[in-house]
Amino acid sequence: MSAHDENPTSDSDSRPTWAEIDLDALAHNFRVVRRTVAPDVEVMAVVKANAYGHGAVACARRLHDEGAAWFCVALAEEAAELRAANLHQRILCLGGVWGEQAAQCVQARVTPVVYRFDMAEAVNRAAAARGEIANVHLKIDTGMGRLGVRADSIAEFARRLAELKNIRVEGVMTHFAAADEPAKDDFTQTQITRFNNALDAVRSAGHAPTFFDLANSAGTFAHSEAHGNMVRPGGVLYGLWRDVLPPSETAPGLRPVMSLRSRIALLKEVPAGETLGYGCTFRTHRPTLAATLPLGYNDGYPRALSNRGQVILHGRLAPVIGRVSMDLTIVDVTDVAVAHEVRDGDMVTLIGKDGETEITAEAVAELSNTISYEITCGISNRVPRRGMRAEG
């Protein structure tokens, strides 16, 4: 479907609300990252959380075509989804493994991050049962305070790990808390120092890790001293950067991957002085052309955008009026209709570009008091993801 196709009958037999996934933009962004790091630095593509809402399998396939050799997921369940889709690249499971997942990961050659001794023991047992040696990546907590062995107790942990003969510490990693905030660069430097000391301690305990990695998107773009020999960017692959990278990174050349679109379900003329939507929070102050859109907060369009958000119709902005409800949102298209005929079925852009006008996920996030990741991750499963058809 082209952006200018206004015939509602050209849609398939489904509600006309969809997320367009521009895999060419994803591939472009991967190449931008590739160029940002030295040639000998491995780039892991973080595709956790369904590739931040963009569709993990489709994104991983395209990234593989671009040469991605490693994917990161949060859950073993997410790794299994990639394996079931015949993706055979290396997968790092960032969140660790639970119960039987240790054995499932060993069997599927999914590499767990370990940060608890019993988790390492479970992987060791599963590998021993198969007569194999399984790779694990050891996570160090250098200041984030979430997962990871605290840097001050890593020496003892690494010594105990060395007794587990069926695992190999293939990687040592940590995660930055504030790599996107120049005002906190001292803290980032402290994390780097703690990591380097921890890496020494791990080596002293007899391990010979192949990979050492610290950098998320912000670390990849703003802290080249922290590239190690592997980086783990997520957000920038999806073209999210305005609230991800430090403000100094003004135009990193990344392209947004997701657009959220819908079509006018019902257009109506409303006289001045009437209220619209739940709670009667909006009152027309003039004769108003109101368009009801078939999407709402259950689709991931934030209710916080009630009476605040904007959409694009025929290349022009139109404001959200009244409360965003579960399945429906009302917009005021009166001013658009002055310049361009507006009809039922016309395409509306909630995130993305139409003509010269653009609404970024970052802008939607800012209006909703959150970050762009929560917006794209929040686009729910009932919104179909569609690959974009080439222009023309």
Ligand X SMILES: *Cc1c(COP(=O)(O)O)cnc(C)c1O
Closer of 48 and 223 to ligand X (Cβ): 48
The two three-digit tokens of residue 199, written as one number: 């890496």
> Which residue number is nearest to ligand X in terms of Cβ?
234
48 is catalytic: yes
Distances in Å between the alpha carbon of 156 and those of 214, 243, 272, 309? Answer: 21, 38, 73, 53
* Pair 278, 325: CB distance under 8 Å: yes
Q: Does residue 136 contact residue 210 with C-beta atoms inside 8 Å?
A: no
Tokens for 348, please give them: 């509306």
For position 232 contacting ligand X by CB under 6 A, the verdict is: yes
CB atoms within 10 A of CB 167: 25
- Please choose, from the candidates 295, 339, 297, 294, the residue with its C-alpha nearest in 3D space to the C-alpha of residue 318: 339
- Could you give the CA distance from residue 213 to residue 63 in angstroms, rounded to a whole number? 20
Stretch that binds ligand X, among 11-19, 233-241, 343-351, 359-367 (CB under 6 A): 233-241
Residue 302 found at the interface with ligand X (CB under 6 A): no
User: Which candidate in 115, 139, 165, 278 is catalytic?
Assistant: 278
Provide, rounded to whole angstroms, the least separation between the CB of residue 252 and ligand X.
Answer: 13
Work out how close the CB of 242 gets to ligand X at its nearest, in angstroms, rounded to a whole number: 13
Candidate residues 94, 140, 164, 351; the one interacting with ligand X per rule CB under 6 A:
94
Q: Which is nearer to ligand X, 48 or 263 (CB)?
A: 48
Instruction: Give the shortest CB-305-to-ligand X separation in angstroms.
Output: 23
Instruction: Decide: is 46 part of the binding site for ligand X (CB under 6 A).
Output: yes
Q: In this complex, which beta carbon is closest to ligand X, that of residue 3 or of residue 178?
A: 178
Select 232 or 261, whichever has its Cβ closest to ligand X: 232
Q: Return the residue of 53, 148, 234, 256 that touches ligand X, per CB under 6 A.
A: 234
CB of 115 vs ligand X, minimal distance in Å: 11
139 counts as catalytic: no
Please report where in the chains the tokens 């660790």 appear, as a residue: 96
CB of 347 to ligand X, least distance (A): 30
Q: Which residue has the tokens 């006289």?
A: 271
Number of residues that bind ligand X (CB under 6 A): 11
Distance CA 31, CA 21 (A): 17
CA distances from 141 to 115, 145, 190, 210, 254 (A): 9, 6, 12, 19, 30
- Binding status of residue 217 toward ligand X by CB under 6 A: yes
Closest to ligand X by CB, 87 vs 371, is 371
Q: Helix, strand or coil for residue 139?
A: strand
Single out the residue of 29, 101, 188, 216 in contact with ligand X (rule: CB under 6 A).
216
Q: Which stretch binds ligand X (CB under 6 A): 156-164, 226-234, 283-291, 378-386?
A: 226-234
Q: Which of 237, 234, 256 is nearest to 364 (CA)?
A: 256
**Complex with ligand X: residue 107 or 229, whichever CB lies closer:** 229
The verdict on 175 binding ligand X (CB under 6 A) reads yes
Query: 44 or 127: whose CB is closer to ligand X?
Result: 44
User: Using CA atoms, how far apart are residues 371 and 316, in angstroms rounded to an integer?
Assistant: 25
- Encoding tokens for residue 93? 């499971």
Cβ neighbours of 266 (radius 10 Å) = 12
Query: Interaction with ligand X in 146-165: which residues (CB under 6 A)?
Result: none
Catalytic residue among 48, 52, 115, 297: 48
- Closest distance between ligand X and the C-beta of residue 36, in Å? 12
Those residues with Cβ within 8 angstroms of residue 114's Cβ, 6 or more apart along the chain or in another chain = 96, 120, 123, 136, 137, 138, 139, 167
The SS3 of residue 352 is: strand
Indicate which residues carry an active-site annotation.
48, 278
Which residues lie near ligand X (CB under 6 A)? 46, 48, 94, 175, 216-217, 232-235, 244
